[in-house]
Structure 1
Amino acid sequence: MTAAILRAGARTFLSVRKHRNYRLFFTGQVISNIGTWMQRVAQAWLILSLTHSAVAVGILALCQFLPFTLFSLAAGVVVDRLDAWKTVISTQITQMLLASTIAVIALAGVAQPWEVYVIAALMGLVQVLDAPSRQTLTFRMVGPLELNNAISLNSGVFNGARIFGPAIGGVLIAAAGAGVCFAVNAASYIAVILGLLLMRPSEFHAVERRERPRTLLSGLKEGLSYARNDEQIMLVLVLVAVMSTFCLNFNVLLPVLAKQTLHSGPEVFGILSAVFGVGALIGALVSANIARATMGTTVIGTAGFALSELLIAPLRSAAVIGVLLFLGGICFTTWSSNANSLIQLAAPDYLRGRLIGIYFFAFAGTGTAGGILMGWLTALGGTELGFVVAGIAGLSISAVVWLRSRAVPLVEDQPA
Structure 2
Amino acid sequence: MTPAAAEASTESTPTGPPSGRRSARTGSTFAALRVRNFRIYATGQAFANTGVWVQNIALDWLTLELTGSPAAVGIAMALQFLPILLFGMHGGMIADRYPKRNILLVTQLCSASVATTLAVLTISGHITVGAIYAMALVGGFVVALDNPTRQSFVGEVVPAQYVRNAIALNAAVFQTTRLVGPAVSSVLIGTVGSGWAFAVNALLYVGPTITLASMRTAELHRTTPLLREKGQLRSALRYVRDRPHVGWTIALVGVFGTFGLNFPVVLTAMASETFHAGAGMYGTFNIVIAVGSIAGALIAGGRSHARLRLILLLGAAFGAAQTLAAFAPNLGTFTVILVLMGVTNLAFQAIANSSVQLWVDPEFRGRVMGLYVLVFMGGTPIGGPIIGWITEHVGVRAGMAVCGIVPLLAAVVLAGVLAARPALARRRRGAAVLAG
1:295/1:405 contact within 8 Å kept: no
**Counterpart residue identity of residue 157, structure 2:** M
Distance 1:388 1:176 in 2: 40
1:148/1:293 contact within 8 Å kept: no
Tell me which of 217, 224, 246 is aligned to 2:237. Answer: 224
Distance 2:239 2:150 in 1: 22
Distance 1:408 1:189 in 2: 49
Distance 2:421 2:211 in 1: 42
Residue 303 (structure 2) aligns with: 290
2:27/2:304 contact within 8 Å kept: no
Q: After the TM superposition, which of the residue ranges 387-396 and 218-227 deviates more from structure 2?
A: 387-396
1:262/1:316 contact within 8 Å kept: no
Total equivalences in the alignment: 399
Identity of aligned residues (%): 35
Q: After the TM superposition, which of the residue ranges 396-405 and 300-309 deviates more from structure 2?
A: 396-405
Q: Does 1:42 align with 2:58?
A: yes
Q: Does 1:188 align with 2:204?
A: yes
Residue 236 (structure 1) aligns with: 249
Tell me which of 15, 38, 53 is aligned to 2:32. Answer: 15
Residue 414 (structure 1) aligns with: none
CA pair 31-9 structure 1, distance change in 2 beyond 3 A: farther
Of structures 1 and 2, the larger Rg is shown by 2
Residue 249 (structure 1) aligns with: 262
**Counterpart residue identity of residue 147, structure 2:** A
1:293/1:341 contact within 8 Å kept: no
CA pair 170-21 structure 1, distance change in 2 beyond 3 A: same
**Counterpart residue identity of residue 85, structure 1:** R
Q: CA deviation at 1:296?
A: 2.7
Tell me which of 90, 98, 105 is aligned to 2:106. Answer: 90
1:280/1:333 contact within 8 Å kept: yes
Q: Please, which runs of 5 or more residues in structure 2 have no aligned partner?
A: 1-23, 423-436
Distance 1:213 1:263 in 2: 58
TM-score (norm 1): 0.91
**Counterpart residue identity of residue 141, structure 2:** L
Residue 120 (structure 2) aligns with: 104
CA displacement 1:217-268 (0-9 Å, x = unmatched): x111111111112111111011111111221111221112211222221111
Instruction: Say what the alpha-carbon RMSD is for the aligned residues.
Output: 1.9
TM-score (norm 2): 0.87
Residue 116 (structure 1) aligns with: 132
Residue 171 (structure 2) aligns with: 155
Distance 1:209 1:83 in 2: 7
Tell me which of 142, 145, 157 is aligned to 1:129. Answer: 145
**Counterpart residue identity of residue 279, structure 2:** P
2:98/2:225 contact within 8 Å kept: no
Tell me which of 237, 255, 273 is aligned to 2:286. Answer: 273
Q: Does 1:77 align with 2:90?
A: no
Q: CA deviation at 1:34?
A: 0.8
1:209/1:349 contact within 8 Å kept: no
Tell me which of 325, 331, 342 is aligned to 1:329. Answer: 342
Distance 2:238 2:219 in 1: 32
Q: CA deviation at 1:118?
A: 1.2
Residue 55 (structure 1) aligns with: 71
**Counterpart residue identity of residue 273, structure 1:** N
CA displacement 1:317-351 (0-9 Å, x = unmatched): 22221211111011011011111111111111211
**Counterpart residue identity of residue 210, structure 2:** L
Q: Please, which runs of 5 or more residues in structure 1 have no aligned partner?
A: 1-6, 410-416
Residue 401 (structure 2) aligns with: 388
Residue 412 (structure 1) aligns with: none
